[in-house]
Structure formats: C-alpha cells, structure tokens
Amino acid sequence: MAVISVNKLQKYYKVHQKEPGLAGSIRSLFHRKYYDVKAVDGVSFEINEGELVGFIGPNGAGKTTTLKVLSGLLYPTAGEVSVLGYTPWDRKPAFQKQFSLVMGQKNQLWWDLPAIESFILNKEIYEVSDAQYKTTLDELVELLDVSDVLKVQVRKLSLGQRMKMELIAALIHSPKILFLDEPTIGLDVVMQKKMRDFIKQYNKKFNATIILTSHYMDDVKELCQRVIVIDKGHVLFDGALDEIIKKFANHKLLTVVFSKEVTEKELKKIGTVKEFDYPRAVISVKRATASTAAAELLENFPVEDINIEEPKIEDIIREVFTGKDLA
C-alpha cells in the first residue's frame, strides 16, 4: 500500500530578471520582468510502506524542493500529493507527528546546549510520553553509540557526532516516514559508513519509509534497491538500481591484460580505449558486440587475462545528466 503518492507535482518560482547597470535598476522600478523557474515539473511516483528509496539527481534537479513539498514546508504550484493520507501543506498536527525531515546542511539542535536538551524539547513538542521517550532514546543512543557525548555542548561535537545527534532529534517521536536530504554530506568515509549502517538498521527495525537524497553513490548503492532519478524537474527513471544499467548503459567495458606489447592504435579497432597503461587496457564496446569484441581480442592479440564488466553506476548517472554518449 502506497503511503506516499505524488501525481503531476509542479513547483514554479517567479524570478525577477533585472537588466544590468543603473539604468536597468531604474527601469526595473517601473517595469519588472519575471520568468518562471521550474524547480519541479510534472513529477509522479508512489512509495510503499517500509521502502527505502534513493532520490538522486544533480544540483538544481528538484530533489530538495520535492522533499519540502512532501513535508509541507512548501505549497506546490500544481499537482496532487498524499503522505499517510494527509495533504502535507495542510500541516495538521496529526501528520506532523508522523514524519521527519533531516537536512545534512541544516542544524536543528541548540548550539550552546547539550544535545540531550534538544531531545527533551522535541519530546514535549511531539507530546511523547516519558516511557516512550526513554525507550526510544535508549534504542537510538545504543544504535548510534553516542552515550558518552549526550551531555556535551553541540558546538563542541565533531561533525559526525553532531549528525548522529541530529538524527536522534529527528527520530525521538518515532516517525513513520523519514526524509533524509544529504545526511552524510561532509562526513569522512568511516563516518559515512556508520551513518549508512544506522539508516539501514532503522529501516529494518521500525519498518520506516525513507526517501534518501545523496550525491554519494555509495549511499544509494548500499541502502536503496529502488531509485528515482530526477533532472531539471522531471523524473528520468524509477525502478531497481540494477535496471539503470540496462536502460542507460549501451556499452560494456573490456579490461584486458596483455602478455606482449600492443599499441593503442591497434586497440582502437576494437572499441573506444578508456585507459591504456601497458600491460593493462580498458576498452568500451557496444553492449551487443561485447562477446564478439572479446573473441576478436583473444584471437588476434596476446591476451593474458580478460574481463567483461558493466560500467559503474555513478559513471552511468553522471553521463545521463551530461547527455554524453556512454560509449
């Protein structure tokens, strides 16, 4: 059953277009020119209870705008949205108690107070009982391993510790839906892994529905079986992560190790040479001709080892957004 339903969502902004110079400033006082920025333009999707969905796209694609509409922070220009049966921008208390929006670049904790003080404040705001608060806090503190820094001022915490506290503050009322906007931004590799592990555990333990945006493909690959790819306000793809390869990658990569010297010019007859540093070469060939190209290499070149691989997911996504030919 869909707990999030989005149908033809649009969000346009009117932006003032001012001509340069003093004369332009004066003219704009009397004759203002505006143009529409289409942050989201006809987006539709449904998400079922317990799904952990990756929402990916380049900067300015419309990801954060969509999440803000889903959480009721923004009114849409057009379209229909239902989250847990509510219209988000009605901002009904019963709805607001069932979701959280965590933005990696925004701080919701009191900077000069220990994080535990913000947790207590959120407990009162969301009307969480003493018993439920203690149970939830103990579970989250254990999952995130932060018992030793609960009473430390937020401004004295490391970025990784602060992000953990941000998550606890957002989850203290046990929301059914979690919108995570770049939750691992700025974190080192080790801390990114710890945050991913926590999100995965939380999703499984509480059957929470999660939408995750991230520029780190490791986040998406490790956490999300389904992805929604958005660019310029439009949905380009909605489906299993593995299906992106089949839909957008029209090539495969042949990684070859040679036993004797060959020239790059000779290899170009096989396909596009992506890398060449003897004895190793990486050659891009059309998907349909990968087996034929591998056979030709084995027959006509001194091949010691050969491997046929799919291109990396992050490379495919990047090329989709730039509009370049993957091969």
Domains and CATH numbers, the chain: 2-245 (3.40.50.300), 250-309 (3.30.70.980)
User: Residue 326's pLDDT band (boundaries 50, 70, 90)?
Assistant: very low
User: Residue 24's pLDDT band (boundaries 50, 70, 90)?
Assistant: low
Q: Give the 3-state secondary structure of residue 120.
A: helix
Q: Please calculate the CA angle 71-78-81 and round it to the nearest 5 degrees.
A: 40
Higher-confidence residue of 55 and 246: namely 55
Q: Which two tokens stand for residue 90?
A: 């009605």
> Contacts from 63-69 at CB under 8 Å and sequence distance 24+?
63/181, 63/213, 63/230, 64/103, 64/181, 64/213, 65/11, 65/39, 65/40, 66/6, 66/9, 66/11, 66/40, 66/230, 67/101, 67/179, 67/181, 67/211, 67/213, 68/101, 69/9, 69/11, 69/40
* pLDDT exceeds 50 at position 90: yes
Can you tell me the distance from the alpha carbon of 169 to that of 164, in angstroms, rounded to the nearest whole number? Answer: 9
Please state the rounded mean pLDDT for residues 291-299: 92
Q: Give pLDDT, residue 34.
A: 73
Q: Tell me, yes or no, if the pTM score tops 0.75.
A: yes
Q: Which two tokens stand for residue 139?
A: 């579970």
Contact 64, 211 (CB under 8 A): no
% of the chain at pLDDT higher than 70: 97
CA dihedral (209, 211, 216, 218) positive or negative: positive
Higher-confidence residue of 77 and 243: namely 77
The winner for highest mean pLDDT among 113-127, 213-227, 311-325 is 113-127
Higher-confidence residue of 29 and 101: namely 101
% of the chain at pLDDT higher than 90: 56
Q: Give pLDDT, residue 294.
A: 93
Q: What is the per-residue pLDDT across 218-276, written as a single tens digit (0 to 9) for each? A: 888 889 989 999 988 899 899 998 888 777 878 899 999 999 999 899 999 999 999 99
Q: Give pLDDT, residue 288.
A: 87
Q: Give pLDDT, residue 27.
A: 73
User: Residue 186's pLDDT band (boundaries 50, 70, 90)?
Assistant: confident
Q: Give the 3-state secondary structure of residue 309.
A: strand
Q: Give pLDDT, residue 159.
A: 85
Encoded amino acid at 277, one letter: D
Q: Give pLDDT, residue 11.
A: 94
First to last CA, the chain: 40
